[in-house]
Structure 1
């Protein structure tokens, strides 16, 4: 039986590939479970400093699996399904390591949500980001409305959602949604983009992700205090000592996450 995800670890990069190409990597219950389990495994792997999430076949992900949703018997099952699948973007955002979405083909609907939940997006030059919910009388889900309006203004978000907008990679980059456009292999481009993460300090990267992802949740004074407390802790780490020694020694620091 073909695995729904493929995992590979190389040079401190954990590669996680959605492997349901015949369905354009649409999110079934089983696929979501396997992806979340794989994320847990890569998070626990101390050799992995960053995770690259990609899709096999013609698309990153076409969104939710409509055929699976049609099998749901009633409103209670629908609600359970949506709540369960919403756990995937939450897990990506709560993970203690950076995640790079390497997007090719379509990131449509829930697939767009997954990409936005990642810390960075590297997209193929022909990639498309689709908000087609209004075409079938629905609204975005899996956190897409919040994630989108954290990046673009509310009027733009409303226009895109209500008009079922499809964004090109260049248009997405012009609005600050993606970090890099690739003209070759998008996974290779994501690995190259990840170089600064691989060479960087894992502990401080973990806290940068946490603080940035939660900055909107905190009052100003709480945010200041939280930064100060984390900084006081980081000042005691071996990675900080190594960074200082490398600075004065005029060499590249070798961070090990301690």
Structure 2
């Protein structure tokens, strides 16, 4: 059964499919490797909030359509050609999405195929369990365009690997294989054969457990960490606004568009 929850926020960039106790939420901009534009960000937040209110759904699987999970924030959206308040509005929408996903009273799984980069990686890290295809690439690569992680990237990286290692990985911004990410503790499983099969196996395993007890444990941690995550999101918004004004960011964007290595000057 396919259920469309987009009542007040209609968008084709997010699809929701419900089978029994499991909802699959699909990022649906395959032509742009599911880059997160404002429409998709708001659509995801809307659909996840609707799922929060469903008594029937207990497991949510987040996946990408086509050959990638998500290549990150859509460059055109992140450029926010309007005034600075437009960009702040985008950051607020990102924060709403991340808080909703992290704290929703369901157990959540990210299914990573292809790229999970930048904001796309932050989105995956906001879920409870990450399974990646062996050929996937994961990167907290904001540094490549002179920016810092957002979408709670600092919070989730610190939670997963500790502050010092998180700083080093953020500063490097290098793509990681699924095996490397697993070794670091940034993901929880590398699919042995087929990614969909591995997702199905994890779902079936969880369906045989007392899911309400699992969800209650999640809610306790989420409630404890909510203030901290909100603080990180606010600090990221303030810092990202400043980073957008730097020469290095302008050079990073230009180099990205011209498909060349950026020449950063530290300003």
Compute the TM-score of the two structures, normalised by the length of structure 2.
Answer: 0.76
Matched, 1:26 2:35: yes
Between the aligned partners of 1:84 and 1:6, the Cα distance in structure 2 is 19
Between the aligned partners of 2:193 and 2:17, the Cα distance in structure 1 is 20
Between the aligned partners of 1:167 and 1:25, the Cα distance in structure 2 is 19
Aligned to 2:104: 95
Between the aligned partners of 2:123 and 2:79, the Cα distance in structure 1 is 22
Equivalent of residue 104 in structure 1, options 103, 113, 121: 113
- Is residue 13–residue 191 contact of structure 1 (8 Å, CA) maintained in 2? no
Q: Label 1:207 to 1:154 Cα distance change in 2 as closer, same or farther (>3 A).
A: same
**Post-superposition offset of 1:2:** 7.7
Deviations along 1:133-176, one digit per CA (max 9) or x if unpaired, are 11111110110011101111322111111111211111111122
Aligned to 1:58: 67
**Post-superposition offset of 1:92:** 0.7
Matched, 1:135 2:144: yes
Give the SS at the match of 2:45.
Answer: helix
Between the aligned partners of 1:215 and 1:187, the Cα distance in structure 2 is 33
Matched, 1:200 2:209: yes
Give the SS at the match of 1:177.
Answer: coil
- Is residue 132–residue 165 contact of structure 1 (8 Å, CA) maintained in 2? yes
71-80 or 23-32, larger mean C-alpha shift: 71-80
- Is residue 11–residue 40 contact of structure 2 (8 Å, CA) maintained in 1? no
Between the aligned partners of 1:93 and 1:51, the Cα distance in structure 2 is 12
- Is residue 131–residue 140 contact of structure 1 (8 Å, CA) maintained in 2? yes
Aligned to 1:49: 58
Structure number, greater radius of gyration: 1
Matched, 1:119 2:128: yes
Q: Label 1:217 to 1:10 Cα distance change in 2 as closer, same or farther (>3 A).
A: closer
Q: Label 1:28 to 1:92 Cα distance change in 2 as closer, same or farther (>3 A).
A: same
Between the aligned partners of 2:35 and 2:191, the Cα distance in structure 1 is 23
Between the aligned partners of 2:226 and 2:80, the Cα distance in structure 1 is 37
Aligned to 1:68: 77
- Is residue 80–residue 87 contact of structure 2 (8 Å, CA) maintained in 1? no
Gaps of 5+ in 1: 219-258
* RMSD between aligned residues: 2.0
Between the aligned partners of 1:168 and 1:141, the Cα distance in structure 2 is 21
144-153 or 40-49, larger mean C-alpha shift: 40-49
- Displaced runs of 4 or more, over 3 A: 213-218
Gaps of 5+ in 2: 1-9, 228-267
- Is residue 52–residue 187 contact of structure 1 (8 Å, CA) maintained in 2? no
**Post-superposition offset of 1:86:** 2.0
**Post-superposition offset of 1:15:** 0.9
- Is residue 113–residue 141 contact of structure 1 (8 Å, CA) maintained in 2? yes
Give the SS at the match of 2:73.
Answer: coil
Aligned length: 218
- Is residue 103–residue 223 contact of structure 2 (8 Å, CA) maintained in 1? no
Compute the TM-score of the two structures, normalised by the length of structure 1.
Answer: 0.78
